[in-house]
């Protein structure tokens, strides 16, 4: 454990605020990201982030993995956002190849306003998306929210009551950009797995050549191959050595039958829609009971 991580959270939060305020003084000289890992939630993005960290030409944000600018902190302005990235004269260059800067915020893909904000503010941005079997993702998300104390109902109840618990929240977020919905963010188990309309928000605004979709199951089955494809998309060479590990995994367990059946029916046909949109057939498409790693 590092010294910083051993400090109480209030002290760490105060230190982060102080750093951002100071870095904001040189915001005009700081980079904006070349690509963003936009999600999805519980699809393995932390594991991918840790792999990115090991690449000598991929530069992470100075503080947290997720800056959450385009969803939760957009009101803070571009100078605040730039403060999270390195100064231009400190970016790396190896064998004539410039480094690329990125951030990863798992709520961007699902937030109703984030895709348009990203496309408008970063017109040359590249987007990386990681997807997982939608049924298993929803179950993993519920376990994650429950473990963090954000939800206290069973998974069956969470699935059955999701539309009621989140009713009207999307519309309120769209009509009031300053409104932040706890329910929409933490109780949308099935809706967050409804990938096609979320992805369409990016494809409508960003050329497909600048969007890279990879599937969790493929990444964990052959991480070296998938990572090589990804860094080629980003325009940097494949690194000599990267250690691929699973991070933030939740213990597996049987999914309640009711919830599984409801979700299977809901996402029937999604794989074909994803294949049409992305040009890649999801690995879970031809498996009856797929269980991806987190």
Q: Count the helix, strand and coil residues of the chain and give each as a percent rounded to the nearest 5.
A: 50, 10, 40
pLDDT of residue 62: 73
pLDDT of residue 293: 35
CA distance 244 to 219: 10
**CA separation (Å) from 116 to 121, 205, 206, 267?**
8, 7, 10, 26
Spell out the per-residue pLDDT of the chain, length 294, in tens. Answer: 444 455 465 655 554 555 565 555 455 668 899 999 998 999 999 999 999 999 989 998 876 778 999 999 999 999 999 988 887 755 565 555 688 999 999 999 999 999 999 999 999 999 999 999 999 999 999 999 999 999 999 999 999 999 999 999 999 999 999 999 999 999 999 999 999 999 999 999 999 999 999 999 999 999 999 999 999 999 998 877 888 877 766 666 789 999 999 999 999 999 999 999 999 999 999 875 544 333
Helix (H, G, I), strand (E, B), or coil: what is residue 52?
helix
Q: Check: CB of residue 61 under 8 Å from CB of residue 84.
A: yes
- Domain membership flag for residue 93: yes
The CATH number of whichever domain residue 99 belongs to comes to 3.40.50.300
* 287 domain residue, yes or no: no
The predicted structure's pLDDT at residue 71: 97
Q: Is residue 293 part of a domain?
A: no
pLDDT at 291: 42
Provide the domain limits for residue 164.
Answer: 3-278
Tell me how many domains the chain contains.
1
pLDDT at 31 (0 to 100) = 84
pLDDT at res. 246:
76
Number of C-alpha atoms within 13 angstroms, CB side, residue 247? 11
The CA R_g of the chain, rounded to the nearest whole Å, is 19
pTM: 0.87
Domain membership flag for residue 187 = yes
C-alpha span between 221 and 293 (Å, rounded): 9
Residue 250 located in a structural domain = yes
């Amino acid at each position: 454990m590092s010294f910083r991580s051993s400090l109480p959270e209030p002290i760490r939060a105060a230190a982060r605020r102080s750093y951002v305020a100071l870095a904001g003084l040189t915001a005009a000289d700081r980079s904006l990201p070349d690509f963003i890992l936009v999600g999805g939630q519980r699809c393995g993005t932390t594991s991918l982030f840790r792999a990115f960290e090991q690449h000598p030409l991929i530069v992470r944000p100075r503080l947290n993995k997720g800056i959450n600018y385009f969803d939760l902190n957009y009101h803070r302005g571009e100078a605040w956002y730039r403060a999270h990235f390195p100064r231009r004269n400190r970016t790396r260059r190896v064998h004539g190849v410039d480094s690329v800067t990125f951030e990863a915020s798992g709520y961007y893909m699902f937030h109703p306003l984030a895709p348009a904000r990203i496309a408008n503010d970063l017109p040359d941005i590249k987007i990386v998306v990681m997807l997982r079997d939608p049924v298993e993702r929803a179950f993993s998300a519920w376990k994650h929210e429950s473990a963090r104390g954000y939800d206290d109902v069973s998974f069956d109840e969470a699935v059955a009551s999701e539309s009621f618990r989140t009713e009207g929240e999307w519309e309120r977020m769209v009509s009031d950009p300053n409104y932040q919905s706890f329910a929409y963010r933490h109780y949308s188990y099935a809706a967050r797995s409804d990938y096609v309309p979320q992805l369409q928000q990016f494809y409508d605004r960003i050329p497909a050549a600048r969007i890279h979709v990879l599937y969790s199951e493929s990444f964990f089955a052959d991480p070296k191959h998938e990572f090589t494809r990804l860094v080629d998309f980003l325009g940097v060479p494949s690194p000599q050595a990267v250690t691929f590990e699973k991070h933030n995994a939740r213990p597996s367990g049987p999914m309640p039958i009711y919830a599984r059946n409801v979700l299977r029916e809901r996402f029937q046909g999604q794989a074909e829609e994803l294949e049409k949109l992305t040009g890649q057939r999801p690995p879970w498409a031809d498996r009856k009971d797929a269980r991806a790693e987190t």
